[in-house]
Amino acid sequence: ITFDNAGKCAFPNNTGNILQVVQSQKIDASSITGQTFTKIPGTDQGGSGSVFCVKITPSSSSNKILFSCQIPFATTLVSYGRLIRTVSGSDTVICVGTDRGNGQASFFVRSDATDHYYGSLPVNLEFLDTPNTTSEVQYSIEVNSLNSSGKCYIGRTHNETSVYGLATASTMTVKEVAA
């Protein structure tokens, strides 16, 4: 590792350098009911669309994308979440555990037994992806519940009308890393 005249770290051949950073923020609250994996409602970093996501176009197909998110989350039962990569309209589930026969392979599981009625806990993820493309890549989160009446709350608590029911912001960040 070397340092340039400005004191910035420079890796040999630029490998590992961060080439671009994009962040999307969700400041409104939403809830999703049921057993079907559903993308969190919202927009991309430019305020477009109906899905909370972040989009990036890699400059080289050999580069990697470092995805991270912080999403305040609460549930009425047991809920699951998974990371989705979308390229050219095709969704791929990435960074999930092994399916043990119940179809709920996820990167997080949240239970109302671990959530306080008035609180939400952050779901955090950092994942280094290799999308192998120079097309636009979209990252989003899908959530669902254990049964048809279970609810997932994003950016809010179970009891939104309580003085403790404050809305909190969610973020998704992607960084293109030179390979």
- Give per-residue pLDDT as tens, 73-117: 888 777 888 899 999 999 999 987 766 655 555 666 666 555 555
Placement of tokens 């239970």 in the chain = 111
- Rounded average pLDDT over 162-174: 79
Q: What is the pLDDT of residue 152?
A: 84
Tell me the two tokens of residue 94. 């990435």
Tens digit of each residue's pLDDT (9 = 90 or more) over 29-60: 888 999 899 999 999 999 999 999 999 999 99
Angle made by CA atoms 91, 69, 101, in degrees to the nearest 5: 50
Main-chain phi, psi angles of 64, to 5 degrees: -105, 160
Q: What is the pLDDT of residue 54?
A: 98
Residues sharing a CB contact under 8 Å with residue 46, sequence separation 6 or more, in sequence order: none
Q: Residue 126, CB half-sphere, CA atoms under 13 Å: how many?
A: 2
Q: What is the pLDDT of residue 113?
A: 52
- Rounded Cα–Cα distance for residues 68 and 166 (Å): 23
Q: Are 121 and 72 in contact (CB under 8 A)?
A: yes
- Rounded average pLDDT over 58-66: 97
Q: How confident is the model at residue 149 (pLDDT cuts 50, 70, 90)?
A: confident
